[in-house]
Amino acid sequence: MAIEFNQSLQSYNSFGILARAQEMLRVTHIEELQTLIRSPAFKDRPRLVLGGGSNLVLTGDVKAMVLKVELKGKRLVREDEKGYLVEAMAGENWHDFVTWTLDQGWPGLENLALIPGSVGASPVQNIGAYGVELQDRFFDLDAVDLSTGQRFRLNAAQCAFGYRDSIFKHGALQQQLIPPLRDSALERPPAQKPLQALTLETQVDGPPIDLGLGLANRALITHVRFFLPKKWQAVLDYQDLQKKCLEHANPSPSAKQIYDWVCAIRREKLPDPKVIGNVGSFFKNPTVSSEQCKDIIAREPSLVHYPLLDGRFKLAAGWLIDACGWRGKSIGMAGVYPKQALVLINKGGFENPCTGGEVMTLARAIQTSVYERFGILLEPEPTVL
């Protein structure tokens, strides 16, 4: 593994922000990574794990050693009467992986089509769209401990998935983690548990390692597995998909049809990062109590909101931003996408890109506007460095 010095990261972040890495390593083989980690030169070095860069805002050059994940490969692990267990390595493109599963006749990921980024980044963010989240299809993953080089496996409960959240987005908390090598049984993983309630017990290929419950930049994901049931059911809860059903007079679309609809909807509403730099939805959709929702509706009857099973309501962050008049506005070369106020864009392109500072100045101004009008503080989705 050769170290690349003073490496430009502009093409490795979907915003197209101009920044450089003092040192960068391309991770193409797990064994080489493990050897590097165990070398004295790597010990105690700050590092940044970089996948597709589709959820990242760079506000300056990166001093940490950048580990650019380029692990490739995908396969069917096994099939039984219940479904298919499929696996992809972390460097695979997410949308290409979704397309491949459907081409093989394994439905289940169609609602997550055209989400930018890599497979390895998908559980970090617990990506989701059109009524489906990654945790709904997730089985387990393999990763490498960046302190020891030891490989370990996490199931869904151990990943502590939340709304656009996971164990990989938080700092360390003390807890013992035991790393497995053998394949898990083809069963659904345990249900999600709160982070503080997790007990990490799995089969091992070596002695226990103490990673903690927060794994931000302490682990590098290498493989992700998904369970796709043969008793497939279409997820059509979102209004955009229901409209497509009516337009096409097709109340029972196939997985491939849903895939095509999702791609069409996303292309109509969201800019292609290859053309206009962006990280997709910049803010999380906030959740509020029933009382808060009623209070806002009394003042704003057109508020877009969705009921949750626990009695709370999820509000459309894009609607809140739009209501504050930010659609199409900009600060410097960072702007709000005219077709979708939830998306911040690089108006200057590759030649005259926005800076991370401009993006965050714009984001903070939007947060202030929304808070002053609605009493809601929007939370950014991407990681800011």
Q: Where in the sequence numbering do the catalytic residues fall?
A: 164, 281, 381
Between CA 345 and CA 271 the distance in angstroms is 8
Three-state SS letters, the chain: CCCEEEEECHHHCCCCCCCEEEEEEEECCHHHHHHHHCCCCCCCCCEEEECCCCCEECCCCEEEEEEEECCCCEEEEEECCCEEEEEEECCCEHHHHHHHHHHCCCCCCHHHCCCCCECCCHHHHCCEECCEEHHHCEEEEEEEECCCCCEEEEEHHHHCCECCECHHHCCCCCCCECCCCCCCCCCCCCCCCCHHHCCCCCCCCCCCECCCCCCCCCEEEEEEEEEEECCCCCCCCCHHHHHHHHHCCCCCCCHHHHHHHHHHHHHHHCCCCCCCEEEEECECCCEECHHHHHHHHHHCCCCCEEECCCCCEEECHHHHHHHCCCCCCEECCEEECCCCCCEEEECCCCCCCCCHHHHHHHHHHHHHHHHHHHCCCCCECCEEC
Query: In which residue are the tokens 């990574």 written?
Result: 33
Q: What is the dihedral of CA 7, 10, 11, 17, to 10 degrees?
A: 160
